[in-house]
Amino acid sequence: MTNNEFDSAVEELKSKTKYSFSDLCLIVEVLRHERGCPWDREQTHKSIRKNMLEEAYEAAEAIDLEDKDLLCEELGDVMLQTVLHASISASEGGFDVNDVCTGICSKLIIRHPHVFGDVTVSGTGEVLKNWENIKQATKGVKTATASIEGISKALPALVRAQKIGQKAAKQRFDFASAEDALAKAEEEIRELREALAVRDAENIEEEAGDLLLAVVNTARLAGVDAEEALHKANEKFVKRFAIVERAANDEGVSLSEKTEEEMLSLWNKAKNTR
């Protein structure tokens, strides 16, 4: 972009009240121009990696809140991250935003042969099965191990654990039931107790991990999403903690001034509060 093009773009963008995707791409190009914003120009894929994750989680929170206006805003932030990464790549001679669009459009067409081809499906279950089969074929995945290894390591650990279990289950490498998985969790609890007894830090970490994995498998086989279950448990804890602290404050003291027994009593009362 020349200086004249930069000036024209700035004036054009300032004059608008309604914008399109192409305008967003132009704004990012302006921001990363030598006369644009130093911060935007200095960014790399790695420097804004955490931004992508944060924006995705904030969009997810807007969904949970059922706040349409907030979701609209957060989806814009997610879109910005995509355009920024594409711009960074293009400036290095790599892919650009059109390549990104081409990639996802091509993928969607290939993975929907019942829409863009002559395949017939009976319902959602068959759609998902075909999607997975096409995905594995196009990625050249030929073994179960390769399929499991292909699960992103950047996923939250609970999400990845559940996906690993699902992939292994397709090979019939799984517990027979949720009860069997729970028995494994109980075994891991015993082993964790043993590690705690001897204060073996490395073994404690290993056994704690084994316990968490067993619990995830128990949830999966019981038809429960482990990540969602823990999310709800976290929210329940926060709400109950607020009730406990408020009760202590109503007595004219801070929560930290309460004895362990008093805090337990307040917690038990909070559990019965709706």
User: DSSP 3-state assignment of 225?
Assistant: coil
Residue 162 confidence (pLDDT): 95
Every domain of the chain and the residues it spans = 3-99, 100-140, 144-225, 229-271
pLDDT on residue 57: 94
How long, in residues, is the chain? 274
Equal fold, 3-99 vs 144-225: yes
What does the pLDDT read at residue 1? 86
Splitting the chain (274 residues) into consecutive groups of 10 residues, what average pLDDT does each group show? 93 95 97 96 96 95 96 97 98 97 96 94 92 89 90 93 94 95 97 96 96 97 95 94 94 92 92 80
pTM (two decimals): 0.77
Q: For position 202, what pLDDT does the model report?
A: 95
What pLDDT shows up at residue 274? 67
pLDDT at 115: 95
Q: Please tell me the CATH code under which domain 144-225 is placed.
A: 1.10.287.1080
Structure tokens at 37: 């914003």
Rounded Cα distance between 180 and 220, Å, is 12
Q: Residue 247, Cβ neighbours under 10 Å: how many?
A: 19
CATH topology of domain 3-99: Helix Hairpins (1.10.287)
Angstrom distance (rounded) from CA 112 to CA 125: 13
